[in-house]
Amino acid sequence: MRNVATTLGLLLLAAAPLSAAPQSTNPDLSRMAGCTLQGRTYTCSKADLQRALSLAKTITSISQPANHASDAALAELVRKLGKTPATGDTPADLIFILEPLQEAGVQVGPGTVDLARLRVLLVAPDGTPGKLLWVQTYNGDASMAWSAIARAATLALQDQLHSH
């Protein structure tokens, strides 16, 4: 029986154009089920995420749109997980994508809003982004700088991995 540890909130997974990465060399990863979509809610398995991270050796990290703060936060996450960043010559086992969710303009009023989404994807047999394995939305104060949001989003994933 699949242990579903987390049901994640609303997510509209837009098909984002991503460049092809070299194919993963780990067949155990390509056989993982990934998240399931029920209505507009993705349900992902924390156990599958932890298993995938234990099997993965290399990770491609993508910030959309590309920026220094996201790239630095993702590079630190990959390093803290003990993984090697994938390069053009190194096949990726997993793909991390960090993207802002905050809409442009002025946010009025107190409270928290969804600020960033961090997705973890498996690599398809042809080397392109494959199944969604995990998605995590970071929310906070809309006045936060993007560099703080990017760091907080990656730290939230680390915290999720270490929580029981």
DSSP for 72-110? Answer: HHHHHHHHHTT-EEP-TTS--SEEEEEEE-PPSS---SS
CB atoms within 10 A of CB 94: 29
Nearby residues of 17 by Cβ (< 8 Å), 6 or more positions away: none
Is 0.75 surpassed by the pTM of this model?
A: yes
The pLDDT of residue 89: 80
pLDDT digits (tens, 9 = 90+) for 95-112: 999 999 966 555 556 678
Q: What is the Cα–Cα distance from 109 to 131, expressed in whole angstroms?
A: 37
Sheet holding 6-10, edge to edge: 6-10, 41-44, 36-38
pLDDT digits (tens, 9 = 90+) for 99-157: 999 665 555 566 788 999 999 999 887 888 889 999 999 999 888 899 999 999 999 99
Cα dist from 101 to 51, 142, 160, whole Å:
28, 10, 20
Query: For 55-62, what is the mean pLDDT?
Result: 94
